[in-house]
Amino acid sequence: MENEQKWISVYGTSMFFLTNNGGKTISYDQVEKSIIYCNSVEPITWSHTSSASTISLEKIDLSPEISESEALSNNKEIDRKRSISKDEQTRIITEVSRLLQQELPDDNGQWKLTTIQQEHNYLFAILHPVKKDFRIIGPKIKVIMDSKTLKPLNYMDNRQLLDVFRDFKEAEMPVISKGEASEKLRSYLEISPVYVYQKGRYMLCGKIECSYVVDAVTGEMISLDE
């Protein structure tokens, strides 16, 4: 709570999609982002000084705009989702390790690769702390890589932004259980029919979202719109 300069413990749910037959749930990220690889791996570490060449950071244009010629040619290559082999996964982890060793040498063993996302001609290697952080806005590093060469081009570290909340009081431990919170949230869920593109076809799904969370200490319902 920003006005009281403190964190609070809450239960809530992120948006997801439920297939029409109720047999499968699809996360928002699976629909809206080109996630190629997602898994919790071992901490990214290094044990010696790298003999590889220095990584030169480049200025990256992340604008979604495309050129007129690309638009007129209906270039599918821009948004085509590619697959990543096991060997490429290993190379990505190696290159990310090199970048961390060069730019954040004190962070040895503190990060793990959780997701690789594709956006236009780039790959984004998403890193989260090995030590789990339960805050809604937690530490995260995005390593921007060339999708063809798999070379790191630059990175984004959100910890400087999180310094704004450095003096916030820690949240109290939850009092009510997840089961109790689920029952409270049930009547606040909003369901709407949508078509979701998955595996080359559109599927009728129910979009499940909720604009409320439950205070894990008092049990009070809190609107996210306030």
Between the alpha carbon of residue 126 and those of residues 66, 115, 171, the distances in Å are: 24, 5, 26
Give residue 51's pLDDT. Answer: 62
Average pLDDT per 10 consecutive residues for the chain, totaling 226 residues: 75 91 81 65 80 83 58 47 81 94 94 87 91 79 94 93 77 91 95 85 90 94 86
Give residue 79's pLDDT. Answer: 47
Q: Which two tokens stand for residue 158?
A: 């959100």
- Count the alpha carbons within 13 Å of 17 in the hemisphere toward its beta carbon: 19
Give residue 167's pLDDT. Answer: 74
Beta carbons of 192 and 206 less than 8 angstroms apart: yes
Give residue 38's pLDDT. Answer: 63
